[in-house]
Structure 1
Amino acid sequence: MNKKLLAGLISALLAHAAHAFDPFQIKDIRVEGIQRTEAGTVFSYLPVKVGDTMNDEKAAAAIKALFATGFFKDVRLEIDGQILVVVLEERPAIASLEFTGLKAFKPEDLKKSLRDVGLAESRIFDRAVVERAEQELKRQYLAQGHYAVQVTTTITPLERNRVGVNFSVNEGDIAKIKQINIIGAGAMSEADLLDLMVLRTSGWLTWYTKNDQYSKQKLSGDLETLRSHYLDRGYLEFNIDSTQVSISPDKQDIYITINLTEGERYTVSSVKLAGQMLLPEEELTKLVQVVPGEVFSREKMADTTKAISERLGNEGYAFANVNAAPELNKEKRQVAFTVFIDPGRRVYVRRINVSGNTRSRDEVIRREMRQVEGAWYDGEKINKSRTRVDRLGYFDEVTVETPAVAGATDQVDMEVKVKEKPTGNIMLGAGFSSAEKFTLSGSVQQQNLFGSGKHIGVQVSTSKSNQVYSLSHTDPYFTVDGVSQGFDIYTRKTDTSTLAVGSFGSDSAGGGVRWGLPIAEDDYLNVGLSIDRTTLKTDANSPLRYRNYVTTFGARSNTLLTTLGWQKDARDSLLVTTKGSLRRAVLEVSLPGSTATYVRATYQHQHFFPLDRRLTLAVNGEVGVASSYGNKDLPFFKNFYAGGIGSVRGFDSGSLGPRDTALNEAIGGDKRLIGNAELLFPVPGMGRDNSMRLSVFMDAGNVWGYDSKFSLGSLRYSGGVALAWNSPMGPLKFSYANPFNKKAEDKVQRLQFQMGSVF
């Protein structure tokens, strides 16, 4: 048999005048040398087939196509008569991908990142890809501050043309920021500027925050923080000239140098509006927050342009363009602003499209919409719609976009995109507090039952003083107008013998129905009707008033109770509140025919004042009154108490107010007044992380009995420091308070704490 070998460098042969071989018609194609690759795969990549005429150009194209697959290390074409023989040498496959020496990362996480650069088990081995993977590993470690990391790659040949790839990692120690220098600061102290930054040198909390580890992203954010700090204080010509980041020879210490130019401080000489305003100029002028004569603030100017844009957006001008043009007078160090307004074309919302809700019904989302299809675009209503959907708690993410309709200049669609999250919750919890001691709790809840938006929950909570078992259900849209309806069933056992209040026990069981009526966007009225049966237990250690009540009215109490409540919640966050207010009032009335006939009313008003970016002043006031009617006494288990976390810190929980003279135990009263003022700020060393906050506070409050009136002179006062931490394991609160005017009968508890966790 006469075989002619076609060299892989067939293109070089084409340079000669003579052909490397005579063209021939392919009668058959044979593939040799493959072990893992299917012959059909080779045929699919070949640009020739049986019946074609083989020539130099097609041979070169065939070799190029097979090399391009990346499957083969060598490709040869041979001729056996009129049979084309394709001889292949496969690249080895990666049988295993292993890591040794890992501490900072999990192997599965690194395998996922290396897969993105083309290296994974079962893929074809490529030395260039392995080198890229090695660089990716180093990049991952450098991003975590391991600047001394060393990566050694070992390739081990295995049977059946396979290899094992092993990355041996010597992580080294994490480099820490040793020093940060700010050069050029004069008007601002370097210490104050460093305190604004997230990045910082090692401190007593940086083991938790990791802010002493260099990050390019964090540095960029810090530079923008410095820029905003200066521009908000009138330094219009402020500039960051350069930044240098260097590392010590042993790759353990990071040094950061920031060079800046402050420039001069400017005041605002004038602000005027120009352009097509559409709305009355007086109305738009009220939105201008930059006042002539004051020091310029970029934040106030940004708020001004944003407020005007949003106001025009509320009138349908979705694409309003508002820009402030400065005119600097460097001699007088003044700046004049002209705010140019271009409202654009007025548009309306054609359709509202909802996507991403794989479980929740469309109506659950659409009923929260405040923007209406076919109506003029209203930015405020669109933002409110997004907020209301987000508040449902059914979604990890809620985004709203308003793209223009193709081919139309006055229409947009409202695209509401949600990302579902699990709404069923099975929770076990444990906690400890200075008042309740050890607590166990558990609950099973489904917030979005069958995607309908209805809630159902079962809860169990037990401590030394309280045991509660309850079942609840809520339909937030019992009517299309947003009236909610729900019911509760519960059983409760109480034993106060371990608390600083009068000793008694009670077994309660009951249930009720409730309705919620929206009266404004953030205002709700709540109405409820319930029935409760309570059996009281007293003994020789119980206060005389408690024993007299049981003797007179019996140990068993049946109560038909109606409640009326109002709440307006305008806080910016439930966990870390920095601004806004909360107001709520509740009125309880036991209806005639009940064993215990009484009226109980409470009112609370909280307000949060942001003093600056770091400081928040929180004030809280609470008042409560209760009274009986129908010639009956107020049930003592409906008394008010004060003292401890949540009222007047520094005094034992529930210990303030009237006392049993024989037992010297608090028995509660029918009037309660509480006042709190607290200055909240981040923990030093935590930067802008508000999950942990310190505070200094002053509390005031007391409880008055049935035969006494409110008296500010008898208020108890305390002051101290507190720590609140929304930790990954649950909320934690500590307070240390010193009572200012304690009396001989008062019980003091200076250190108080409350913590819990979910597992």
Structure 2
Amino acid sequence: MKKLVFVMVMLASVLSAQAAVVDASDYEYIIIEDIRLNGLETVTEKEVLDTIVYGVGMVYSRYKTRGDIKKLYNTGKFEDIKVSLKNEGGRTVIVYEFVERPIISRILIKGNKQVGDGDIKSKLDIEDQSIKIKEGEYYNELMAARAVAEITKMYRDKNFYYAKVSHSLAEHTETGRELPGKRVRFEIEVEEGEKVKVKSIKAVGNRVFGVDKIKGLMDTKEDGWFVSGVFDEDKFIEDLKKILAAYHREGYVKARIGPYTIGEIDINRGKIIDGYVNIDGENNAIHIEIPVEEGIKYTVKSINASGSSLFEEEYVLDRIETRKGRVFDRAAYENDLNIIRNLFSGKGHIFAQVKENVVYDDDVGAVAIQLEMADGPVAYINQVKVRGNYVTKDKVIIRELNLEEGQPFDSNRIRRAQENIYNLGFFDNIVIDTEQVDIDRLNLVFEVTERKTGNIGLGAGYSTVEGIVGYVQLSQSNLFGEGKGFSADVQFGNQKKSWQLSYKDPWLFDTPTSFGIDVWNIFKNTAYNNQGYDLDTYGFNLSFGRRIGLEHKTFITYRYQQDKFSNISSQLQGIVHEEETQISSITPMYVYDTRDDIFDANRGAYGSLSVQLGGGLLGGDFNYIKTVGDIRYFVPSFWKFVLGMRARVGHAAGYDYSYGSAIVPVVERFYAGGTDTVRGYGERSLGPIAGGNFLVVTNIEYKLKLVERVLTLAAFYDSGNCWMNFDEVDWTNPFLYSSVGFGIRLTIPGTVMLLRLDWGYGLVPEAAPPGGQIHFNIGNIF
């Protein structure tokens, strides 16, 4: 008994002497009979008991104790925690002694004049950096230090390079009331100083590149009329890399900034900033001097590739840019190595190796390159996995892949599978990963990030075609997570009123057969799209489609609609009549599509051909055949530029039948000019006033994708015309109205909705409005 008492006394003294540490060798037989919590002021006993694992009757464990202490500290509410075991009247009690952190009652900012309180407070609550300094929260010294560092950085970004930021605590008492716990006032003291701007940028040692070219490569700019002269250390370091990369592209592959190669700049950034950036405190100026060692220019003396049984040397060298006699462009060479590796991975040899031996001859400025290729074994897909799809069912993704277990690991097919998943429109991001399960087998993992696919909306908008429009919309493009689509849409505006119900199942009964149905009622007045009459339409269509592989689709659509014409403009009197007509038609359609992104393509082609048969055995008031061909082609240019081309040709003609008119109805005729055909001209302003039966339109766009899938700039050239009949065209010199212009496209983040704003200038002045035409619409012209 004395021995046990001695152990308990020693244990209590050790535990009480060390904060948050229990140093015990063996408490296997100690049963906790009571738990005592001391020092709690603002934290409730329930919060603590819900956090710790101990309960009365449990065996004491030093490992559990350490775990509990860690969890309690992680709540951010405690400054100190001590744990001890006590024997009171023969009962073992575990005692927690707490010292709570003070609570911030008020935040006070002093000394700031050029930067507002709101900007400073925004740096006190940054979730992704674990900073949370707010009134009513527990004070944390580490968070405070991080917040001060962020505020200081913000001041530097605003050119206050000498700004000093500090923080302190002061006791705070709420007037007229007492609150539990220690309350403090968190004070931020700022000494802003004067703005410091970049006044000069110089380069020394440069002979090939002039200083103006070097400056042009940099994001860091000298202070000027339209330039802020902001100095940002991170941007400056990246600027130095850009300078060396530019030298590398010109063959100066051993160029350096001072003694540093492009790979050594990051790890020596401190020395670089101190050595090349001079801060003049007296004049509030920054002077930058960049020492350049250009070295000599290298050309490719020879390049050979050997060792592969899959590819001949000539086949490999024909597919790369690095060639004998050309300037040795380091960036192009690195890309060439990736091209060669992709050749192997496209055959399933993802473990292929390309060893390079580059020999520099400094005497003549030449490089000899020897590439040793090793095919390696073929890798096979062991299993295809999908992760991150919490709403979308696996089958919706798997059926788009065209990949099977046991197939060779073909990187081209896998990239195409990734594009197919994105084209569903359900995901913001798709990342491909692998898990090696054997020497030649890997699991292929598609990690997806789902986007919101349902929408309940009430709003208003404007487009050049429809004018001001209000809408109420309920839509879900991934119904039940099965890829089915449903929408109910009501629009009301000064030119158009409509309601529409749609349903689509792209995989009917889990087969590559699609089914869709639409029911609608649309009223468009005479101002809508410059049509010149009021049109009230209601109808429905039924569509079935069949996918043939991943690139080919066929459709057949039946449509019935009834049109009521009224309020005919004087220009259309005698051409369009106040009447009610019926159209009954069936349209087979073929589609070929290899685009990488159906919403905003970078590469690939799209082609479609449809033949609409109206009337005849199908009934209706009109007997006609309408054929439309549509071809689009996209090719990446350089950097973020993409060239897109489109051509559309349409022809329609009536035919005789035992009942009905042998003419093409007004609503099925072709129209040219405006937002979606030839920009720079008014809507429907080119060709016959009531539409024609033959159409030719071409569009060329050169796009710069500033922010991928978000912001795009475009320059365009459009041409086209519409004729009443095919035989009116002078094929020796067919006249096409043309235009040029530019535009901006914005894709709303988290959606596939694209807003398009274009300005076009018609090159046929007598048909175009003076000063050009602005077009605004939703959706891409391609």
Matches within 5 A, 1:84-483: 91-96=99-104, 98-100=106-108, 103=117, 105=119, 110-113=124-127, 116=130, 130-131=144-145, 134-135=148-149, 137-139=151-153, 142=156, 147=161, 148=163, 150-157=165-172, 160-168=180-188, 170=190, 180-200=201-221, 214-241=231-258, 244-245=276-277, 249=281, 257-405=289-437, 408-478=438-508, 480=510, 482-483=512-513
- Aligned partner of 1:704 among 710, 723, 730: 723
Structure 2 residue aligned with 1:24: none
1:585 to 609, 622, 635: 609
Q: Are the equivalent residues in 1 in contact too, given 2:307–2:372 (CA < 8 A)?
A: yes
2:587 to 549, 555, 562: 562
Amino acid at match of 1:431: G
Change in Cα spacing, 1:78 to 1:532, as seen in structure 2 (3 Å) is closer
Q: Give the alignment partner of residue 485 of structure 1, picking from 502, 505, 515.
A: 515
| CA 449–232 in structure 1, closer or farther in 2 if over 3 Å, else same | same
Unaligned regions of 5+ residues in structure 2, if any? 1-12, 19-32, 55-59, 61-65, 110-115, 174-178, 259-271
Shift of 1:366: 1.9
Letter paired with 2:544 = W
Structure 1 residues 507 and 317, CA gap change in structure 2 (3 angstroms): same
Q: Which residue of 1 aligns with 2:690?
A: 667
Residue 424 of structure 1 deviates from its aligned partner by 0.8
- d(CA) in 2 for partners of 1:204, 1:474: 56
Cα distance change of structure 1 residues 447 and 179 upon mapping to structure 2, 3 Å threshold: farther
Please name the residue that 2:627 is paired with.
Answer: 601
CA distance in 1, matches of 2:155, 2:471: 41
Residue in structure 1 matching 2:775, options 746, 754, 757? 754
Q: Distance in 1 between matches of 2:168 and 2:559?
A: 72
Question: Distance in 2 between the 1:474 and 1:77 partners?
Answer: 68
- Quote the residue 1:34 is aligned against: 39
Label 1:568 to 1:74 Cα distance change in 2 as closer, same or farther (>3 A).
closer
- The separation in 2 between residues aligned to 1:569 and 1:271, in whole angstroms, is 35
Q: Taking structure 1 as reference, are residues 304 and 537 closer, same or farther at Cα in structure 2, changes over 3 Å only?
A: same
Q: Is the 8 A contact 1:31 1:39 kept in 2?
A: no
Q: Distance in 2 between matches of 1:124 and 1:536?
A: 71
Cα deviation code 1:224-281 (max 9, x no counterpart): 4444333233222233335644556389766555443333332223221123444444
Return the alpha-carbon distance in structure 2 between the equivalents of residues 619 and 100 of structure 1.
59
- Which structure 2 residues correspond to residues 643-682 of structure 1 after superposition, within 5 A? 643-658=673-688, 666-680=689-703
Counterpart in the other structure of 1:621: 647
Query: For the structure 1 residues 709 and 453, does the alpha-carbon distance in structure 2 shift closer, same or farther, using more than 3 Å as the test?
Result: same
Preserved contact between residue 157 and residue 232 of structure 2 (Cα < 8 Å):
yes
Letter in 1 for 2:102: I
* CA RMSD in angstroms, aligned pairs only: 5.0
> Distance in 2 between the 1:352 and 1:164 partners?
56
Change (3 A) 1:32 1:604: closer
What is the CA distance between 1:446 and its match in structure 2? 0.8
> How far apart in 2 are the matches of 1:524 and 1:30?
71
Moved more, 319-328 or 433-442: 433-442
In structure 2, relative to structure 1, the CA distance for the partners of 1:179 and 1:471 (3 Å cut) is: farther
Instruction: Report how far residue 171 of structure 1 moved.
Output: 9.2
Does the Cα contact within 8 Å between 2:693 and 2:724 map onto a contact in 1? Answer: yes
Q: Does 2:528 align with 1:528?
A: no
Amino acid at match of 2:39: I
Q: Deviations over 1:286-325 (max 9, x none)?
A: 4333232222333433333223222222333222222433
- Following superposition, the deviation at residue 401 of structure 1 comes to 1.2
CA distance in 2 between partners of 1:216 and 1:748 (Å): 50
Q: Is residue 2:746 matched to residue 1:731? A: no
Whether 1:504 and 2:533 are equivalent positions in the alignment is yes
The amino acid across from 1:636 in the alignment is V
Q: 1:587 Cα deviation (Å)?
A: 2.8
Number of aligned positions between the proteins: 704
Match of 2:735 among 715, 721, 745: 715
Q: Output the CA distance in 1 between the equivalents of 2:288 and 2:737.
A: 48
TM-score, normalised by the number of residues in structure 2: 0.75
2:183 counterpart letter in structure 1? V
| Cα 1:546/1:477, change in 2 over 3 Å | same
8 Å CA contact 1:93–1:163 kept in 2: the answer is no
Contact 1:91 1:125 in 2 (8 A): no
Q: Distance in 2 between matches of 1:627 and 1:204?
A: 63
In 1, Cα distance between equivalents of 2:602 and 2:204: 33
Instruction: Give 3-state SS (helix, strand or coil) of 1:448's partner.
Output: strand
Check conservation: 2:746, 2:755, Cα contact below 8 A: yes
After alignment, is 82-91 or 360-369 more displaced?
82-91
The separation in 2 between residues aligned to 1:428 and 1:80, in whole angstroms, is 68
Equivalent residue in structure 2 for 1:637, among 659, 662, 667 = 667
Report the CA distance between 1:399 and its aligned residue.
2.0
Distance verdict in 2 for CA 1:533–1:333, change over 3 Å: same
Question: Aligned partners of 1:528 and 1:538: how far apart in 2?
Answer: 31
C-alpha separation in 2, matches of 1:579 and 1:667: 37
SS of match in other structure, 1:371? coil
Deviates more, 1:108-117 or 1:511-520: 108-117
Match of 2:9 in 1: none
Give the conservation status (yes or no) of the 8 Å contact 1:271–1:291: yes
In structure 1, what is the Cα distance between the partners aligned to 2:540 and 2:151? Answer: 60
Aligned-residue offset at 1:91: 3.7
- Equivalent AA in structure 2 for residue 672 of structure 1: L
Distance 2:710 2:505 in 1: 34
User: Take 1:707 and 1:369, find their aligned partners in 2: how far apart are those partners?
Assistant: 44
How far the C-alpha of 1:655 sits from its partner, in A, is 0.8
Look up the SS of the partner of 2:546 in the other structure.
strand
Q: Describe the shift of the 1:427–1:126 C-alpha distance in structure 2 as closer, same or farther (beyond 3 A).
A: closer
Secondary structure, aligned partner of 1:363: helix
In the superposition, the TM-score normalised over structure 1's length comes to: 0.77
Task: List runs of 5+ in structure 1 lacking aligned partners.
Answer: 1-5, 12-27, 47-51, 53-61, 659-665
Aligned residue identity for 1:750: G
In 2, Cα distance between equivalents of 1:194 and 1:141: 25
Distance 1:591 1:171 in 2: 82
Larger RCO: Structure 1 or Structure 2 (Cα < 8 Å, ≥ 6 residues apart)? 1
CA distance in 1, matches of 2:763, 2:624: 35
Structure 1 residues 715 and 451: alpha-carbon distance in aligned structure 2, compared to 1, 3 A threshold: same
Equivalents in 1 of 2:640, 2:212: separation in Å?
Answer: 16
What fraction of aligned residue pairs are identical, expressed as a percent? 21
Amino acid at match of 2:545: G
Change (3 A) 1:240 1:601: farther
Q: Tell me how far apart the structure 2 counterparts of residues 441 and 657 of structure 1 sit (CA, whole Å).
A: 32
Within 2, Cα distance between the matches of 1:378 and 1:114?
Answer: 38
CA contact (8 A) 1:371 1:378 kept: no
Provide the secondary structure at the position in 2 that maps to 1:350: strand
SS of equivalent residue, structure 1 residue 643 = coil
